[in-house]
Amino acid sequence: MSTDQAHDARDHHESWHAALHRLQECGVSHVLASVVGAAGSTPREPGAKLVVTSTAVIDTLGGGHFEQQVIETARRHLAATPVATGTHLEAFPLGGRSGQCCGGFVHVLIEVFAGAESHLTLFGAGHVGQALVELLAPLPWRIDWYDSRAEAFPPRHPHDRYPDRVRPLTLAADAEGVARAVAAIPRMLTCW
């Protein structure tokens, strides 16, 4: 797969609303693009939605150069450091701006979701670790939760109380295993 293909990978099996839920549960930065107004001949009607991440596109606004411009706009917002959540209204005259023959006019609402902005690494899945995760799970943080005992983690069920951004990870109970886990901790930016 080429870089361009990976950049615009599409999931044709997942709906926009399932993707939106999954990405918010996992704490991944994403954009929801919604057609909120249309005049004249347009690829899709108001209410059509598209979800964009830095590597994937889920659903469609009708394709063509117009949709590619929406994807590029979304990815510019996602590439900002830090990702700034917010909404933006974009106007697309399909003949002038997008070069599409249908020639209509579309307004697209771009909603930017920054995802999990904080990351926590927790060592230990005993009663204290489980109580901490129970308290922390509702927060929009990614939690890497380590223990050398796989059986120490609560069993995961389809209707689990922990979102997917809480990741139980088993580590080797030796200095090398702990060193690998510590090396995997993301660097934190310090803001003064």
Q: pLDDT 10s digit of each residue in the chain, 192 long? A: 333 333 345 555 789 999 988 888 777 889 999 999 998 888 889 999 999 999 999 999 988 888 999 999 999 999 887 777 889 999 888 776 555 666 788 899 999 998 766 788 999 999 999 999 988 888 878 889 999 999 999 887 666 667 777 889 999 989 998 899 988 887 653 323
Going from the C-alpha of 185 to that of each of 116, 120, 125, 142, 146, the distances in angstroms are 15, 8, 17, 11, 11
Question: From CA 102, how far away is CA 187, in angstroms rounded?
Answer: 48
Residue with tokens 């606004």: 61
Inter-residue contact 112 to 86 (CB < 8 Å): yes
SS3 119: strand
Q: Alpha helices of the chain — where are they, by DSSP H?
A: 3-7, 16-26, 64-79, 127-136, 175-183
Confirm whether pTM is higher than 0.75: no
